[in-house]
Amino acid sequence: MTVAFLGTGIMGAPMAANVAKAGLDVRVWNRTRAKAEPLADVATVADSAASAAAGADILVTMLADGPAVAEAFEAASPASGTLWLQMSTVGLDWTDRLAVAAEKAGVVFVDAPVLGTRQPAEQAQLQVLASGPEEARPKATPVFDAVAVKTRWLGPAGGGSRLKLVLNAWVLALTNATAESLGLAAALGLEPSLFLETIEGGGLDVGYAHVKGGAMLSGEYPPSFPAGLAAKDARLVVEAAGEDVDVAGAKAVLSHLEAAVDAGHGDEDMAALYRAVLKER
């Protein structure tokens, strides 16, 4: 089975590598070819999206946003009957648009964003939030099993993206709450690390707070998930909520992330929103 994998960034590259290591024939393409070249030992590096997709059984997209996915899909022009695993986080509107594009092209569409960041992607420990036709599951399973520790099927296409937004709202809020708690501790004259030490092992403890809080305290932000992409995800949460629910927490996260990005920290880890919480100039 041949898999065309479009998008070899911070998440896509390790995912594509794991699909290849699982024994599937993988062709990779990235708009910036240099980001795909490191995969040459395990996959065929294609010169174009179209050459990657030509004759492929499965098309996987793992790109930054909806417009990037739509552009790559159009350029790839996969054959009718191809299974398209759309694993990027693009929100509700773009998921609907991409599903329409797939139907027009005669392509089987599975909405399958993933939960996890760079390290889980490298370790094949992601979770796939899949939604789409029942008959697509057997063909999709080898790819999902290669990149994830768990796949949750959520009914018709669109269910995966909906749950991803819910989970992102929680992850973003947790990161922001950690930053605000550490920042408040510092403003009150306390050693910020006391916050993490105090919650450790108790009912309020959560491992993610220590991961992101550790980065915040060190002032080092190697990207596990870049702030620029996290801002995009926060924006998608706010847009999806509309007027139906007050997502003030997501709006606060978005404000901090946008401030960090505007200050030139968009390629740092999302924990860099701590810079905005501290009002760094």
Token pair recorded at residue 186: 């510092």
In the prediction, which pLDDT does 178 show? 98
Mean pLDDT calculated for residue range 102-131: 98
Q: pLDDT digit string (tens) for 9-20?
A: 999 999 999 999
Mean pLDDT calculated for residue range 46-68: 98
**Which residues 6+ apart lie within 8 Å of 31 measured at CB?**
72
Q: pLDDT digit string (tens) for 169-196?
A: 999 999 999 999 999 999 999 999 999 9
Mean pLDDT calculated for residue range 24-30: 98
* pTM value > 0.85: yes
In the prediction, which pLDDT does 206 show? 97
In the prediction, which pLDDT does 281 show? 54
Q: Which domains, and CATH codes, for the chain?
A: 2-157 (3.40.50.720), 162-277 (1.10.1040.10)
In the prediction, which pLDDT does 245 show? 97
Indicate whether 165 pLDDT > 80. yes
In the prediction, which pLDDT does 280 show? 84
Q: pLDDT digit string (tens) for 82-97?
A: 999 999 999 999 999 9
Give residue 63's region: left, alpha or beta (phi > 0; psi -120 to 50).
beta
- CB of 168 closer than 8 Å to CB of 236: yes
Please count the other Cβ atoms lying within 10 Å of the Cβ belonging to residue 74. 12
Q: pLDDT digit string (tens) for 229-265?
A: 999 999 999 999 999 999 999 999 999 999 999 999 9
Mean pLDDT calculated for residue range 96-116: 98
Indicate whether 221 pLDDT > 80. yes
Indicate whether 228 pLDDT > 70. yes
Q: What is the largest CA-CA distance in the chain?
A: 64
Beta-ladder partners of 83: 58, 108
Cα dihedral: 216, 221, 222, 226 (round 10): 110
